[in-house]
Structure 1
Amino acid sequence: MQTNADAQRDLDALTALNLDFFASVQEGDVKRFEEILADDFMSSQPDGTLLDKAKFLELTAQPVTISGLVAEDVRIRVLGDFAIIHGRFDSRSADGKPRRGRYTDNWARRDGTWAAVSAHFHLDQDG
């Protein structure tokens, strides 16, 4: 049975990982993604494509074209050894236009460590 201290530790770890995920997108940090993404990670992109970890890392290695990426309204739900992070994001495209959307990242505790197993994000119609 999980104690309040264990629950808080999970929330703290997942909060930090969520920040790492965002920083890795903004900075094109392939190395950090290699550490926090599960080997079977999958990402749903706004254009409908589904990327495995290798393809996601290839995309991450491309020059970063967004700026000012921030997470808002983050909600973390821990369900035993599985967690779901819901949130909004704001950023600017290469031409300076605002981009807003929502994201959902799924995390699984494997061998005592949280790993991202899937990610999905979409852009708002006006962003």
Structure 2
Amino acid sequence: MNDTKQSTEDLAILEQLNLDYNNADQASDAKRFSDFVADDFIVQTPGVTRNRDEYLEYIAKPRPFKDLALREVKI
């Protein structure tokens, strides 16, 4: 396989993973979202710090927004 074909295939895989991550968040799919975060995952938002399990519990609840969109994605 040549480098160009490999790069094109790799890019397509990464783009799909990025979409899956976004879709899992929008759909409150904590099971799928868990595939993307490490065991030692920590997220900090203004005033809140959550570990992996806490964040997955948060993700499992209905999201407060609709139509989450990716813009200007660069992979």
TM-score by length of 2: 0.78
Q: 2:12 is matched by which residue type in structure 1?
A: D
* Alignment coverage as a number of residue pairs: 74
DSSP 3-state at the match of 2:50? strand
In the alignment, which residue of structure 2 is the partner of 1:20?
20
Structure 1 alignment gaps of length 5 or more: 77-127
Superposed, 1:64-103 pairs within 5 Å as: 64-76=63-75
Cα RMSD for the two superposed structures:
2.0
The structure, 1 or 2, with the larger RCO (C-alpha pairs under 8 Å, 6+ apart) is 2
Render the CA deviation track for 1:12-47: whole Å, top value 9, x for unaligned. 1111111111111111001101222222333332x1
* TM-score, normalised relative to structure 1: 0.50
Q: Which runs of 5+ in 2 are unaligned?
A: none
Q: Report the secondary structure of 2:59's partner residue.
A: helix
SS across alignment from 2:32: helix
Deviations 1:51-93 (A, max 9, x none): 32212101101222111111111011xxxxxxxxxxxxxxxxx
Over 6 Å off, 4+ runs: none
Distance 2:74 2:6 in 1: 18
Tell me the distance in 2 between the aligned counterparts of 1:6 and 1:62: 38
Higher share in strand:
1
The AA in structure 1 aligned to 2:48 is T
User: Counterparts of 1:44-123 in structure 2 under 5 Å?
Assistant: 44-45=44-45, 47=46, 49-76=48-75
